[in-house]
């Protein structure tokens, strides 16, 4: 499974030079979205299929815009109103789409490893747009691009990820990515939501947010998924936000003044992050969204462009 | 065929100087003129020409840079992914007099791509093409308005334009394609 010929299944398989190439390409792509004519002909005549077996509006829109700005044609497929509802297998759906001569697949699916599995059964590149609790590679790349823009370089940073580390594909992909650089990675959350043995990945574990914030450059707040409450991972939303929610007061008191706040979205305002922080001067959340299009353009260009 | 030097040092500088004069003449002055260099040789050449004009006329021409890879006509045929560099033009090119600068013109396909890239940035009043070396072998009806030297080289040869700022010497060199 090598990047870019077979697509982008996860960050784990990438080398530092792959990541740097994607980030450099993304920086160049970013300018295109700021012009009057937001389109270049690089992928003219190519067709990209967005297959979202799990609902997503923002990631799908971001991928769609990215493909369109490179002049690719895009088809969107989501299970509602399709034959998936009639019990068609995921791989059958994929093969039907491919029979229409599609050049690349962007896939989001619930089962971990779905993208890897599909990529072994098709001969077009597959880009993972999030598979269960496994990976969300383009999110980690857009996060890295945002950090690099804020601080000029990734090496030397201290990055804190707060929340449900256990179930988060965003956290996983970010850790895989940041490990390629000279970065201190910290995670913080309720003990029930920190994977056991995560220290062996070179990650520092904190259970108290105030302590974890000391000296960091980047604070990445993860979305708390309400359904986890049923799993007994934490007693109540109220208690979660009391201990691990980021408020302006905690931020100002415990984090360095130049630390920035990130969030992959969608926000649970008032749960993991208060509105004054999400909309505050240190929030780079909307830059993340902007960089998402640039990173996806870069990945599509590298994966779909070029001959094979 | 060993490496062969076509021009170097003083002759190289004189060629640049003549190109700069010709540029000023063909643009009818320096008003509204923007130099846009094609990555990467064109960017360096544009810098050198701008430096001469700055020294001679005391006028600093705005300089931009263009990456044409996203506009190539062979992107789906070549087996690699050319790295995309920045495209950045510091001033609006609408109604400007744009001088497109590249180090070598060969098939004309790069110039074609550069023109398309330029048109997506705005609508210049006029565009001139300025190159250091015209090596012949055109496949499209595109000719330079200003050129430094004409060196017919067939497809087995390679032209290298070296700049002292980057390569440590000023020279135009022909060598076999390795």
Q: Is residue B178, in this structure, part of any structural domain at all?
A: no
> Is the pLDDT score of B141 beyond 90?
yes
Residue B108 has a pLDDT of 97
Give the residue-averaged pLDDT of A43-70. 95
Give B19 to chain A, closest Cα distance, Å. Answer: 31
Could you read off the pLDDT of B18-43 as tens digits, one per residue? 999 999 999 999 999 999 999 999 99
Residue showing tokens 């829109």: A61
At A260 the pLDDT is 98
- Chain B residues whose CB is inside 8 A of the A42 CB are 69-71, 75
Q: What's the CATH number where B95 sits? A: 3.40.50.2020
Q: Is the CB of B120 less than 8 angstroms away from the CB of A35?
A: yes
pLDDT at B173 > cutoff 90: yes
What is the residue-averaged pLDDT of chain B?
A: 95
Q: What pLDDT does B157 receive?
A: 94
Q: Which residue of B has its CA nearest to A4?
A: B81
What is d(CA B170, CA A17) in angstroms, rounded to the nearest whole number? 32
Interface pTM, i.e. ipTM? 0.84
A240 exposed, middle or buried (CB, 10 Å; 0-12, 13-18, 19+)? Answer: buried
Average pLDDT over residues A173-194: 97
Q: If you average pLDDT over residues A46-64, what whole number do you get?
A: 94
Q: What are the extents of the domains in chain A? A: 7-135+292-304, 137-288
pLDDT in tens, A202-211: 999 999 999 9
| B120 to A46: CB separation less than 8 angstroms, yes or no | no
| Pairwise CA distance, residues B31 & B35, whole Å | 12
Q: Give the mean pLDDT of A120-140.
A: 96
d(CA B107, CA A115) in angstroms, rounded, equals 42
- Are both A7-135+292-304 and A137-288 of the same fold? yes
Select the residue of A37, A302, A306 nearest B79 (Cβ to Cβ).
Answer: A306
CB-CB contact of A166 with A199 (8 Å): no
Average pLDDT, chain A: 93
List chain A residues with CB under 8 Å of B89.
none
- Gap between the Cα atoms of A32 and B159, Å rounded: 31
Q: Kindly list the distances between the CA atom of residue B171 and the CA atoms of B11, B106, B177, in Å, as whole numbers in the listed order.
A: 9, 18, 18
Condensed to tens digits (0 to 9), the pLDDT of residues B90-100 reads 999 999 999 99
For the domain made up of A7-135+292-304, the CATH class stated in words is alpha beta
B76 pLDDT above the threshold of 80: no
Sign of CA dihedral B57, B58, B61, B63: positive
Instruction: State percent of chain B over pLDDT 90.
Output: 92
Of A28, A302, A305, the CB nearest to B86: A28
State which residues form the domain around B28: 10-157
Burial B141-176 (b: 16+ CB within 10 A, else e): ebebbbbbbebebeeeeebbbbbeeeeeebbbbbee
B-chain residue closest to A32, CA distance: B87
**Quick one: fold of A137-288?**
Rossmann fold (3.40.50)
Chain A residues lying within 8 Å of B120, measured CB to CB: 35, 37, 39-40
For residue A154, is pLDDT > 60? yes
The Cα B127–Cα B145 span in angstroms is 10
Q: pLDDT-derived band of residue A1, with 50, 70 and 90 as boundaries?
A: very low
Kindly state the tokens that stand for A249. 């007061």
With a cut of 90, say whether residue A78 has pLDDT above it.
no
Cβ separation B83–A45 shorter than 8 A? no
Q: What is the pLDDT of residue A227?
A: 72
Check pLDDT > 70 for residue A273.
Answer: yes
Nearest CA to CA, how far is A307 from chain B (Å)? 5
B80 close to A (CB below 8 A)? yes
- Write out pLDDT tens, residues A86-122: 667 889 989 999 999 999 999 999 999 999 999 999 9
State yes or no: pLDDT of B123 exceeds 80. yes
Q: Which residues of A touch B79 (CB under 8 A)?
A: 306-308
Report the C-alpha gap between B84 and A61 in whole angstroms.
Answer: 24
Nearest to B70 among A37, A40, A46 (CB): A40
Name the minimum distance, in Å, from the CA of B44 to any CA of chain A. Answer: 19
The verdict on residue B173 lying in a domain is no
In chain B, the number of structural domains is: 1
Q: Which residues in chain B are closer than 8 Å to A103, comparing Cβ atoms?
A: none
Whether B163 is in a domain gets the answer no
A81 vs B98, more confident: B98
């Amino acid at each position: 499974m090598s990047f870019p010929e077979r697509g982008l299944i996860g960050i784990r398989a990438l080398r530092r030079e792959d990541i740097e190439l994607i980030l450099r390409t993304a920086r160049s792509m970013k300018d295109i979205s700021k012009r009057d004519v937001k389109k270049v002909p690089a992928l003219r005549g190519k067709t990209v299929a967005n297959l979202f077996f799990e609902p997503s509006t923002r990631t799908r829109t971001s991928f769609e815009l990215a493909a369109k700005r490179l002049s690719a044609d895009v088809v969107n497929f989501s299970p509602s109103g399709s034959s998936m509802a009639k019990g068609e297998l995921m791989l059958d759906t994929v093969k039907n789409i491919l029979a229409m001569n599609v050049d690349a697949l962007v896939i989001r699916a619930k089962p971990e490893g779905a993208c890897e599995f599909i990529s072994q059964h098709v001969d077009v590149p597959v880009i993972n747009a999030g598979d269960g609790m496994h990976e969300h590679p383009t999110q980690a790349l857009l996060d890295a691009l945002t950090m690099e823009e804020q601080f000029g370089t990734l090496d030397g940073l201290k990055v804190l990820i707060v929340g449900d580390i256990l179930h988060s594909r965003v956290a996983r992909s970010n850790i895989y990515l940041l490990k390629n650089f000279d970065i201190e990675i910290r995670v913080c959350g309720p003990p029930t939501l920190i994977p056991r043995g995560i220290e062996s990945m070179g990650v520092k574990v904190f259970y108290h947010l105030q302590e974890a914030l000391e000296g960091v450059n980047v604070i990445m707040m993860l979305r708390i998924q309400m359904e986890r409450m049923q799993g007994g991972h934490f007693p109540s939303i109220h208690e979660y936000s009391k201990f691990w929610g980021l408020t302006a007061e905690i931020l100002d008191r415990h984090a360095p003044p130049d630390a920035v706040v990130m969030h992959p979205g969608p926000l649970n305002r008032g749960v993991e992050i208060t509105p004054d922080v999400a909309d505050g001067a240190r929030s780079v959340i909307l830059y993340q969204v902007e960089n998402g299009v640039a990173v996806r353009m870069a990945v599509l260009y590298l994966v779909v462009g070029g001959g094979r | 065929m060993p490496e062969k030097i076509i021009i170097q040092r003083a002759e190289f500088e004189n060629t640049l100087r003549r190109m700069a004069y010709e540029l000023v003449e063909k643009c009818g002055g320096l008003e509204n003129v923007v130099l846009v260099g094609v990555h990467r040789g064109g960017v360096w050449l544009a810098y050198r020409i701008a430096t001469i004009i700055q020294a001679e006329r005391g006028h600093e021409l705005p300089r931009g840079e263009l990456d044409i890879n996203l506009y190539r006509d062979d992107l789906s045929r070549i087996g690699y992914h050319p790295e995309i560099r920045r495209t950045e033009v510091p001033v609006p090119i609408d109604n400007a007099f744009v001088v497109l600068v590249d180090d070598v013109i060969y098939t004309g396909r790069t110039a074609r791509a550069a023109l398309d890239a330029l048109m997506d940035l705005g609508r210049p009043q006029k565009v001139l093409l300025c190159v250091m070396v015209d090596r012949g072998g055109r496949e499209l009806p595109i000719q330079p308005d200003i050129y430094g030297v004409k060196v017919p080289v067939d497809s087995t040869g390679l032209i290298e334009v070296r700049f002292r700022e980057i390569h440590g010497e000023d020279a135009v060199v022909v060598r076999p394609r390795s």
